Amino acid sequence: TVFPFTTLFRSLSAINVTGGNIVSIENNVIDSNPGNGVLIAGGDQVDVYNNTFASNGNGMLITGQLNGTIDIRQNEISSSKQNGILLGAYTLGNTTITENNVTSNNCGLFISANTSTYITGNYISNNTVGIEYDGFADHQISFNDIYENGQGVELTSFYNGTVNAAHNYWGQETGPEHTSLNPYGKGNSVGGDGTNLVFIPWLTHSFAYNNLPPTAVLWTDKLLVAPGQTVMFVGTDSRDDGSVYQHFFDFNDTGNSGWTTLSLFNHSYSSTGT
């Protein structure tokens, strides 16, 4: 007898969701299940908010042919013997996975869905593999912190698609370690050949980092200007919490400097002014 994939896991799950208009799983501690903490195989709208999953076989399994909305948000998912989240649905509707802390699992997220996915805003750390992709669909994962995993993002040998993993933070401002494409990167390592897994550009800070705008400090060597007189504009006192790479001087007549790496710039005025 051949059993459907969902049937094999259903009896081992703490919570099974196979239907319903609005299903909400919130503020629970779900631990030590040999199979899944939560299995989602149906439902028009399923919300999984603010739960703690620990020491399950899989923290969550999402499977079957799904057309509803699934929102997985603000959960702590740790110490899963297999996967923190196993996304293995044949089809998916609107699925959101964000603001979760996925740590210390064998695999943080295993994505084998045949529908494209977008994963953002998560902390994925200290897993044997942070995220692993399988199947045939194209996927995107951006603006996450992926760090201190044995392997940050990996593709199985059977994967046939493209993963866009640009704009993630890999634990170091030098970016992820990749043997050929970023050999001096000190962040979490990534696989792929640069075409089936794209990780450039990367974030140099955590996605939650509050990057304040620079403060422009400008002074000149003259205040009152005669016709034809040259004025030196000085922007060296401008500052930023990172680095100032370029300046743009607007001379308040018909000219400007354009973007320039120079912090000192001379300009000649054609008429008298202050």
Convert the chain into a string of H (helix), E (strand) and C (coil).
CCCCHHHHHHCCCCEEECCCCEEEEECCEEECCCCEEEEECCCCEEEEECCEEECCCEEEEECCECCCEEEEECCEEECCCCEEEEECCCECCEEEEECCEEECCCEEEEECCCCCCEEECCEEECCCEEEEECCCCCEEEECCEEECCCEEEEECCCCCCCEECCCCECCCCCCEEECCCECCCCEEEECCCCCCEECCCCCCCCCCCCCCCCECCCEECCCCECCCCEEEEECCCCECCCCCCCEEEECCCCCEEEEECCCEEEEECCCCEC
What is the pLDDT, as a whole number, of residue 242? Answer: 76
Average pLDDT over residues 219-242: 92
Average pLDDT over residues 261-267: 95
What is the pLDDT, as a whole number, of residue 255? Answer: 86
Name the amino acid, one letter, at 53. F
For 104, left (φ over 0), alpha (ψ -120 to 50), or beta?
Answer: left
* 176 touches 190 (CB < 8 A): yes
pLDDT of residue 160 exceeding 60, the answer is: yes
pLDDT band at 9 (very low <50, low <70, confident <90, very high): very low
What is the share, in percent, of the chain residues with pLDDT greater than 90?
Answer: 84
Bridge partner list, 60:
38, 85
pLDDT of residue 2 exceeding 50, the answer is: no
Model pTM above 0.95: no
CA pair distance 98, 118, nearest whole angstrom: 10
Q: Cα–chain-centroid distance for residue 248?
A: 32
* 74 touches 27 (CB < 8 A): no
What is the pLDDT, as a whole number, of residue 10? Answer: 46
CA pair distance 161, 40, nearest whole angstrom: 25
What is the pLDDT, as a whole number, of residue 6? Answer: 42
* Tens digits of residue pLDDT in 16-69: 999 989 999 999 999 999 999 999 999 999 999 999 999 999 999 999 999 999
